[in-house]
């Protein structure tokens, strides 16, 4: 079960660490956020080392649908209601900056970069779409309402952002990572201050950045309260009708559509990790009806960290960690989220002002409705009788029959049938 990106890209290989080293900046985590951050630091002349537990891009990054867009569902009405006009404008501007940086880099990298309109549709709630358009108008951005988007299902319409993009993420990352100082198969088992301990060597750094998907240190930042994880599924279909654009349902459990070459990437079947959901069965059932002549070529699943307020956590790991930084909680929009993080973290390391930093501050208030949902899930799991417990914080594991794994409903750790860690924050080899 590998993604179409993993099967159609050749990534550079890097050695594992076998000695003690010193560096100015250590980046822990070799997904898109970590690689982009290391790339910009390298370009700015900063001595930087990146370590990855497995092979670069082998985790969440390879499982993206790779839409490059600053239309993140119907998020602008939510941010406007919670934080007001100025911060909503800053969120949009930060993600536009990220979008433009991809456009700039993709001019010199062959990565199937294509300009496409992006659509967020609703199956049955036109009011949500109108509210989003109103919110966008208030912050000075013009979007379109589309009455009948080109989809094989009935909708109440869609909000369109013109001239967004899509690409092949691993071809892009393979190109920008080749000259970086990276160690693969190098697992950080412990942090002692700013020293990372691995099996065959220690890394002493002046500053450390955690881009490990789910932050792995519990004693700072309270990320076990601020994050939960969500799984989604994708199938790549041959001989399905091509779509002129990228489409996603505003509902978390809806369907997404985009093309890559002669494939249609159909996504959906979503659920909170550790809960039941539609998974690939839902997608295959829909495809059988909507695309009866198509056949499945690839299938894969993704796992996303969800923040309390739909905005990522980018910046200082906590108020008390002055040389330790984090990027997490991209809420299913990890492509622009990762670029936003990389640009902001680079500014922090170089001690440059970033006008958008406050929007993404990891130490902002956590008193949000989702906090209480997360707390309820944890209490329910702690009280569940089970011999299989997550080593992260002791929650009861649930069997995921579709993927044959043991999943944690509290924080999203996943384990194979024989106990191997598949997804963090559980910290093991």
CA atoms within 13 A on the CB side of 192: 7
The number of angstroms, rounded, from the C-alpha of 227 to the middle of its chain's C-alpha atoms is 12
Report the pLDDT value the prediction gives residue 1, as an integer from 0 to 100. Answer: 73
Residue 232 host element (H or E): strand 228-238
pLDDT one-digit tens code per residue, 264-301? 999 999 999 989 899 999 999 999 999 999 999 999 99
Indicate the burial class of 363 (C-beta count within 10 angstroms; 0-12, 13-18, 19 or more): middle
Region 311-326 average pLDDT: 95
Please state at what angle helix 75-106 crosses helix 169-177, rounded to 10 degrees: 60
CA atoms within 13 A on the CB side of 290: 19
pLDDT one-digit tens code per residue, 228-256? 999 999 999 999 999 999 999 999 889 99
Is pLDDT of 429 > 60?
A: no
Report the pLDDT value the prediction gives residue 377, as an integer from 0 to 100. Answer: 79
The residue ranking higher by pLDDT, 49 or 371, is: 49
Is pLDDT of 131 > 70?
A: yes
pLDDT band at residue 428 under the 50/70/90 scheme:
low
Q: With beta carbons less than 8 A apart as the criterion, state whether 258 and 120 touch.
A: no
The residue ranking higher by pLDDT, 180 or 374, is: 180
pLDDT band at residue 416 under the 50/70/90 scheme:
confident
Report the pLDDT value the prediction gives residue 374, as an integer from 0 to 100. Answer: 81
- Average pLDDT of the chain is 94
Region 390-410 average pLDDT: 87
DSSP 93-154: HHHHHHHHHHHHHHTSS-S--EEEEEEEE-SS-HHHHHHHHHHHHHTT---EEESS-S-SS-
Give dist(CA 101, CA 43) in Å, integer.
14
Please state at what angle helix 169-177 crosses helix 32-43, rounded to 10 degrees: 40
Give dist(CA 136, CA 161) in Å, integer.
11
pLDDT band at residue 373 under the 50/70/90 scheme:
confident
Report the pLDDT value the prediction gives residue 257, as an integer from 0 to 100. Answer: 98
Give dist(CA 149, CA 134) in Å, integer.
20
Give dist(CA 402, CA 7) in Å, integer.
22
Bridge partner residues of 241 (DSSP)? none
CA atoms within 13 A on the CB side of 130: 6
Which domains are present in the chain?
Answer: 4-65+171-225+309-360 (3.50.50.60), 230-244+253-306 (no CATH), 369-421 (2.102.10.10)
Q: Quote the pTM value.
A: 0.95
Region 116-134 average pLDDT: 97
Tokens representing residue 229 in the block: 């994880």
Give dist(CA 124, CA 300) in Å, integer.
28
Report the pLDDT value the prediction gives residue 388, as an integer from 0 to 100. Answer: 84
Region 335-341 average pLDDT: 98
Report the pLDDT value the prediction gives residue 234, as an integer from 0 to 100. Answer: 98
Is pLDDT of 404 > 80?
A: yes
- How far lies 37's CA from each of 80, 126, 172, 345, in Å? 29, 39, 14, 7
Region 116-120 average pLDDT: 98
pLDDT one-digit tens code per residue, 167-207? 999 999 999 999 999 999 999 999 999 999 999 999 999 99
Report the pLDDT value the prediction gives residue 167, as an integer from 0 to 100. Answer: 98
Give dist(CA 234, CA 266) in Å, integer.
6
Region 1-19 average pLDDT: 95
């Amino acid at each position: 079960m590998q993604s179409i990106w993993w099967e159609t890209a050749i990534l550079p290989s890097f050695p594992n660490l076998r000695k003690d080293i010193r560096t100015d900046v250590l980046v822990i985590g070799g997904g898109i956020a970590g690689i982009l951050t290391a790339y910009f630091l390298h370009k700015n002349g900063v001595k930087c080392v990146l370590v990855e537990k497995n092979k670069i891009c082998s985790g969440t990054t390879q499982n993206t649908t790779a839409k490059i867009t600053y239309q993140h569902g119907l998020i602008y009405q939510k941010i406007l209601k919670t934080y007001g006009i100025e911060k909503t404008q800053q969120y949009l501007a930060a993600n536009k900056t990220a979008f433009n940086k991809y456009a700039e880099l993709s001019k010199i990298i062959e990565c199937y970069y294509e300009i496409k309109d992006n659509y967020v549709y609703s199956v049955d709630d036109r009011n949500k779409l109108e509210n989003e358009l109103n919110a966008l108008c208030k912050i000075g951005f013009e979007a379109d309402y589309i009455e009948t988007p080109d989809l094989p299902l009935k909708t109440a319409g869609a909000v369109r952002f013109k001239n967004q993009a899509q690409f092949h993420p691993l071809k892009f990352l393979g190109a920008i990572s080749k000259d970086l100082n990276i160690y693969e198969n190098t697992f950080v088992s412990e942090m002692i201050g700013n020293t990372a301990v691995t099996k065959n060597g220690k890394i002493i750094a002046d500053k450390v950045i955690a881009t490990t998907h789910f932050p792995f240190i519990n004693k700072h930042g309270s990320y076990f309260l601020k994050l939960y994880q969500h799984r989604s599924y994708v199938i790549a279909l041959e001989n399905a009708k091509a779509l002129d654009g990228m489409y996603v349902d505003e509902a978390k459990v809806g369907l997404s559509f985009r093309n890559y070459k002669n494939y249609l990437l159909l996504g959906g079947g979503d659920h909170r990790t550790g809960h039941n959901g539609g998974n690939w069965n839902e997608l295959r059932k829909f495809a059988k009806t909507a695309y009866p002549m198509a056949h499945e070529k690839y299938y894969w699943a993704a796992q996303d960290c969800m923040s309390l307020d739909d905005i990522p956590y980018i910046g200082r790991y906590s108020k008390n960690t002055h040389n330790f930084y984090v990027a997490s909680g991209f809420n299913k929009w990890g492509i622009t989220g990762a670029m936003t993080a990389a640009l902001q973290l680079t500014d922090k390391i170089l001690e440059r002002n970033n006008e958008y930093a406050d929007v993404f501050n990891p130490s902002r208030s956590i008193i949000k409705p989702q906090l209480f949902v997360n707390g309820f899930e944890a209490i329910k799991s702690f009280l569940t009788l089970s011999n299989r417990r997550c080593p992260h914080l002791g929650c009861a594991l649930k069997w995921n029959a579709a993927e044959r794994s043991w999943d944690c409903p509290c924080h999203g750790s996943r384990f194979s049938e024989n106990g191997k860690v598949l997804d963090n924050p559980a910290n093991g080899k």
